[in-house]
Structure 1
Amino acid sequence: MRKDQRESRMREIEAEAYALFAQAGFENTSMLAVAKRAKASNETMYRWYGYKNGLFASMVAANARVVRDRLQEAANAEVPPLEILSRVAPVLLEMLLSERAILLNRAAASDSTGALGQLLALRGREDVLPLIDAVLQDAVREGQLHPPDDGPLPALFMHLLLGDQQIRRVIGTMPAPTKAEIAAQATLAISRLRALCV
């Protein structure tokens, strides 16, 4: 199977896994159930993912890839760093507040071993945040921003962009935002970042 075919098939399998997680939760979803729903063999499931945590890690990485791809696309356009950030911010926010991200975060929050949380950090935050940091540092070098006196710039940006919205989504006290709300929040975050880091 060609790499692109395998990637496409993995996304199909993972879409079925998300559907099962939504119905029964991560803990109550078996690899066999995912295989049956996705019409995949057990051999394929274990060869591609290993065990269920491998499936979880692949799902997190696929979410992060959306943001990485948009960052690369903006960087290739050779626009100023804050323009890159403006283009990526709504994509990042939409991903972090998506139903898929919320299902993954709920699974990690309910895992008493902490293993899923570690995978979520490693394949998500620790994969994407350094790329955001690089854009912010470019903005500093070009004089578009000045680093804050108290704390790292990426942490400030993420606070302005996301705040407590993801945890509110995870615990069910906030509905999924609309695209217009996401765009407005991303614009506000960039505006506040400029105001705080002049």
Structure 2
Amino acid sequence: MNENDRSDRRAQIEAAAFDLLKELGYRKTSMLLIAKRAQASNQTLYAWYRNKQELFRGIIEENGRVVREQLELGLREGHDPLQALAELGPTLLRFTTDQHAIIMNRAAVIDAAETGVLAQAIDDVGRGSIYPLICALMARLVQTQTFAPDVLPDDAAQTYVALLFGEAQLRQALGRMPPCDETEIGRRSERAFALTCKLYGAAPGRHSS
């Protein structure tokens, strides 16, 4: 199997695994059921993933890759960091507050009492990979004098994240808030962007939509 075929097959298996997670919940989703749904052999499944925790960890990491790549693009020379900040909100919210994310977060809560693998994967992607890039974006905004010179990038990053999410993830995990649709994603993103710019000295009018 060449690399493209292997990648396509992994995507099919992971899609089948997530469908089962959505339908049956975390505890009832097994490697055997995943293999049957994906029409894959148990041998293939266990060769590629040691267990279902490793399989779901791969899904979390792949979803985080999209956000990470967008941030890395925004940090490249010649890219407007303010534009990158404006575009970051929708990507972050789609990654963390849509139905897919809610289901995976609930699975992580259940697995926390068993292996902790999923919670660790979410933390590694969020805190370990994405958050440092948000801090780097804030530093770039200070360096380009878009934000005031005395702004601490970590403070600005924490403020932006808090404004963007609020209590959404907690309320969603408790079943008290539905997944964010595009209207809600747009509203939250624009508010977090405008308030962060106001707090740290940027002019929102510089952002062209």
Kept in 1: contact 2:102–2:179 (CA 8 A)? no
TM (norm. structure 1) is 0.90
Give the drift of 1:187.
1.1
SS at match of 1:152: helix
Which residue is 1:30 aligned to? 30
> CA separation in 2, counterparts of 1:153 and 1:33?
45
> CA separation in 1, counterparts of 2:127 and 2:2?
29
> Where does structure 1 lack aligned partners over 5 or more consecutive residues?
none
> CA separation in 1, counterparts of 2:6 and 2:78?
32
Query: Which one-letter code corresponds to 2:173 in the other structure?
Result: V
Which residue is 2:142 aligned to? 140
TM (norm. structure 2) is 0.85
Which residue is 2:71 aligned to? 71
1:103–1:74 distance in 2 versus 1, CA, 3 Å? same
Kept in 1: contact 2:57–2:117 (CA 8 A)? no
Give the drift of 1:163.
1.2
Query: Which one-letter code corresponds to 2:69 in the other structure?
Result: D
> CA separation in 1, counterparts of 2:110 and 2:70?
31
The percentage of counterpart residues that share the same residue type is 35
User: Aligned Cα RMSD in Å?
Assistant: 2.1
Larger Rg: 2
Which residue is 1:120 aligned to? 122
> Where does structure 2 lack aligned partners over 5 or more consecutive residues?
202-209
SS at match of 1:61: helix
Bigger mean CA deviation after superposition, 70-79 or 187-196 = 70-79
Choose which of 150, 154, 158 in structure 1 pairs with 2:157.
Answer: 154
Give a deviation string over 1:21-60, Cα, whole Å, max 9, x none.
1122112211111111011111221122211111121011
1:74–1:5 distance in 2 versus 1, CA, 3 Å? farther
> CA separation in 2, counterparts of 1:191 and 1:4?
42
SS at match of 1:195: helix
Give the drift of 1:123.
3.4
Kept in 1: contact 2:53–2:118 (CA 8 A)? yes
Query: Which one-letter code corresponds to 2:142 in the other structure?
Result: V
Give the drift of 1:116.
2.4
Q: How many residues align?
A: 198
1:181 aligns with 2:184: yes
